[in-house]
Structure formats: structure tokens, C-alpha cells
Amino acid sequence: MEQENIWHALSVEEIFKNLETSVRGLTTAEAEKRLTEYGPNELEEEKRITKLALLFHQLKNPLVGVLFAAALISFLVGKIIDTIVVAVVIAFNTSIGFLQEYKAEAALRALKSLAAPEADVIRDCPEKGTCIEMRVKAEKIVPGDIILLDAGDKVPADARIFEAINLEIDESMLTGESTPVRKTIEPLDKNLLVADRKNMVFSGTIVTQGRGKAVVVATGMKTEIGKIAKLIKETEKAETPIQKRTSDLSKKLGLFALIAGSLILMVSLIRGFEFYQTFLFALAAIVSAIPEGLPAVITITLAVGVNRMAKRNAIIRKLQAVDTLGSATVIVTDKTGTLTTNQLTVQKIFVNGKMVKVTGVGFAPEGLFEINGAPIDPKKDNTLSLLLEIAALCNDARLRQHKTDGYRWEIYGDPTEGALVVASEKAGFKKEELEAQLQRVDEIPFDAKERYMVTFHKSPEENLRVYVKGAPETVLEMCSDILVDGKIKKLSPKEREELLKVSTEMASEALRVLAMAYKIIELDNLEAFKESIRQKRAKLVFVGITGMIDPPRPEAKQSVQLCKRAGIKVVMATGDHKLTAEAIAREIGILEPGLKILTGAELDNMNDDDLDAVIEQTSVLPAFLHPTNTE
């Protein structure tokens, strides 16, 4: 397909035309035909290694080759006991290596068998009537299929969206961006990076909110994740450090043994000794120069390392990989979910002209509210209480506790909204209880262009409470008053500037910033007030600002320091904004004075020489490149 790299730039009609499909999907017969043409929707795997091949792989060690030569020489000169000893060493060494690598292969196959993804598609639609959804294995999906997307689904293939209702996708596994992407259906510029193709969904990503429909444009190795797999597969395999050392040692030992044996033979003949006896003595000297126990010692040492890694839930396929880990001088690590928790958390709240710090990490509703290090009770602060009430109710996310391995907290919905729900629960405000008291009767859903969300709640006093959250500059534009210490007063131009300054400062600390506002109106003024909001003349009461971040893991900073003490440089790869990346890298200890951050745009404009000149001083790299740079 010539269009495979610019599907995001085409209209929905052009997509359907190029793929010879429609909103009614394919027939089963056509899907089977395309499956034969394009192949199954799965990543190509290396040919499974057989037990015999795995066994012979253990014999490729150069030191084992030297032992074979020593055993042969011993046998030829009649040293049967020596021959048996060397043979036992070879068998022992081979058995340990075979058993370790076979167990690792079996464990990997068991892990792969656990995953059998499926997806909802539209097929075999009647000419008249409603189309019926069917669930098929993801490997059976083909270009032209219509897939259905709903919250919690894993996207089965790369597809172009043609219907989206509050659809948001977590693409962190592909781009490194921790924030879900709000999707659209309009055609986009053809030169956009993968992370900016907001009308596309990509294989392996997760639907966090909303629902939608999309037409599949690429499957298997043609997907973006498939291209990455192909690059990895085509990477030239190099010898591990221990393989290089043992190969070098084997050559030196062999050469030393031959030289020593030759010298013994020459000196003995010059001195007049009998040739046959001298030859046997020289061969014995050659065999004695070979350290038969060395391969077994190396293998046992590596096997111990593999077992230690297994106890830490890390599967090592090849014994030599343990040595490779120990020889590392640079570690390039992903940020999202590796250095950070991948759980947005509210850390700061600005109310009453003061900054409130919120402690606790992740989705567990555990933490304190502090001002200048002193704990406060948020329920005794009218303004802070109202802000947390708005945060919980002007919100579609849910917090749930599951009993899996112990009790685990999970967010259903948008992670940003989830962070607000968690912050409210830390203060003792239960979302379900608030909803029972203040029933939502209407709403203006979040719009990426307008950057705000509004909900309307019927109060016990028989009026409507209007709760608003959104970008600070947008919310401030709609506000005429401000709530300070529970009292409403006029919002002055100076206060407006100060609030914008606070918002900017929080953003510079890599915090994602949202503002809260409210208004109390009469029930019969609902429609008129909705229109005033859309026209930015609602005269709301400003309440406060929240700042949230995907926080570093508590153990990440310690791990980075441990790597540095071991002489290992740590480089962070992320698709986040430069300010976010800088703040996280500094906090963890990766970004130090004299080190640089390299953005994707800067890397796109570099050649190999330019990159070589700066790479040693770079500690933060982009997690993805422009498509033209991945070829």
C-alpha cells in the first residue's frame, strides 16, 4: 500500500476507498481472503530453537573446543583416564548450560501462551438492518476491518479513527507520553510524528476513556510496533564480553601450549632423547597446559547469576547475558512506568493565596495536606473543601479497590481526572457520597479546543451548583470573582496576573495544571447559563489551582545513585515535554550540571557526526524519532 505512511493525512472517504471497505465492514469471506494476502496480525518471531540446537549451542564455546582437542590428544597417546576426566568436564559444562537455557525458553513460552487477545469487529453486515458486532482473535484482523474501541480495550492493530466520542488512548508504551491522547477524526498534516497523529490508534495501546470506531490500515509487522520489532530483529548480533574474552583466552592458551610443546620436543631431540618418548612427553605437556576446569567454573558462575536474577523475577535466556549486564557502562531507560509510577498524582493545590502540598504517591488515597510543612485539616478550610468537591464531581473517573495480590487501587477513566478523585478521597470526600447529595443533571463535556469541562448539580436547597475545571487561563477568562477563606470577593487585575504567574510556575515544575471555579444558579436558568459559559461571560467564582505529576518511583533515585557508584551512566528516554523531562531527570539525579537534554526536533536535524559530538554530554533523549529517521 503506497499510502501506509500517510493514513492520518487522508479523509475518511479516501481511507475507505483505498482499503475497499466501508463503515459496514468486511464479509467473513473477504476477511479470510485478506488474511491469506496480508498474513496473521502478529509480530514475527524468531524460529523456535530445538533441544538439539540448544545442546550444540553449548559446545560452541572456544574453551570447549580446546578441551575437545586435549581429550583427543590424550586418547591418541593412551591417556584414557585423562580422556575420561576431560570428557566428564565437557559433559558437565554442557549439561548446566543446556538446562539453564532450556528452562528460560520454557518460561518464555509459558508467558506468551497466557496472552490470547481478542477484539470487537463489524463483519457480515446485512444489506438492510443493524450491523452485528462479533468478537474475533486479534491475529485474524486484517486491513479494512472495522474495529470497535471502548474504555479498557487494547488496540489490536494500527487504525484510522472515523468515529470518536470522548476517546482517549494511553500511548505511553509507544511514545513515552504518560498523558492519554484525546483523539479526533479530522485529517492531519502528513509530516506529523507518530505521537501527534491524533486521528490514529496504534497496536498495543490502551483505550482509557470514551469509545469509537476505526478502520484497520496496518497489521502485524506493518504496524508501528511491528516496525520497532523489525529494527530490533535486524540489529546485528555481536559477541558478548565474556565470549570475546574466552575466545581470546582459548587462542592464547592453544598457542602457548603448542609453543611449549614444540620447544620441549626440539630441546629433547637436540639433547638426544628418543623421539617417541619425547613426542609423548610434549603432547602431555600440551594437555597439561589446558585448564580443564575453567569452562565449568565460568558456566557455574553464570548459572548462579541466572538463578539470582530468576529470584528477582527476571528471565535470562542466555547464560552470557548475565556477564553482559555486569559489563554495562550506560543504561538507557524509559521514564514512564519505569522511573515513574505511571500514576498521575496531585502534589500541589493553590487556594487562599497559599500553596498546599499533598503527600502520597499513586492511586492509594493515603496522604496529608500541608502548608509550610505543617499538616492541616482540609475539611476545616471552606475554600479547599469546595475545590476538592469540584475536583470529585466535575469528573468522570472512578476509584476502585481490587483484591489481587493484596489490595490494589485502580482508576477507571482518565488518569488526570483519576488523580483529582484520589486527592479528594485523601481529604475524606467520597465521590459516591457527594454524588448522592449533589446529583448531576447536565454537563458540558471536556473539549480539547475549549479546554474546560462543566457539570451541573442539583443541591438540597433546590438550586444548581455549576462546577468548572479546565486550563487556568480559560477558567480565569470566565471568572469575575474569587473565593478567599470562604468569602467571595471581586477578582482584581493584579490577582488575575498573580494567579496566571502561579500557574506558569507550577507548569515549569513539570506539573499538569488545572483550575477550579463554581457558580450557584437557579434551576430554570440552566440553558441560558450554558450559553453564557460557551460565550465566556458566565462570571464564575474562581476557587483554586491544582498541580499534578507522574511522580518518580521512591526507589528510582537510589537505583540511579547505585548505578553511578558502579560507574554506569544512566540516560532517560521519554516522549514528555522538555520541562517535564527536565524536572523528573533532575529530581531523580540523572540530569546534573554540564549534561544536556536532547529533544526529538533537535535529533531530527542532526547527522551522525553532530550526534557523536553531543551524545557523551546528553542524559535525556527522546523516546521516539520522526518516521524518516527509523528507516
Q: Quick count: other Cβ atoms within 10 Å of Cβ 113?
A: 8
Three-state secondary structure readout of 427-438: CCCCHHHHHHHC
Cα separation of the two ends of the chain: 17
Please indicate whether residue 447 is annotated as part of the active site. no
Is residue 565 helix, strand or coil?
helix
Residue 1 contacts residue 183 (beta carbons within 8 Å):
no
The three grid cell numbers given for residue 602, joined into one nine-digit string: 533537535
How many helices, marked H, and strands, marked E, lie in the chain? Answer: 21, 24
With beta carbons less than 8 A apart as the criterion, state whether 502 and 350 touch: yes
Pairing type for strands 618-622 and 569-574 reads parallel
Q: Catalytic one among 120, 334, 442, 481?
A: 334
Task: With H, G, I as helix, E, B as strand and everything else as coil, classify residue 201.
Answer: strand
Given a contact cutoff of 8 angstroms between Cβ atoms, the answer to whether 286 and 257 are in contact is: yes
Determine the 3-state secondary structure of 448 from DSSP: coil
Q: What angle do CA 429, 431, 437 make, to 5 degrees?
A: 90
Q: With beta carbons less than 8 A apart as the criterion, state whether 487 and 499 touch.
A: no
Helix, strand, or coil here: 518?
strand
User: Residue 143 in contact with residue 217, Cβ under 8 Å?
Assistant: yes
Look up residue 411 and give its three cell numbers.
482508576
Which 8-state DSSP code applies to residue 63?
H
- Cα-Cα-Cα-Cα torsion 29, 30, 32, 36, nearest 10 degrees, comes to 140
CB burial string 424-437: b at 16+ within 10 A, e below: bbbbebebeebeee
Catalytic residues: 334
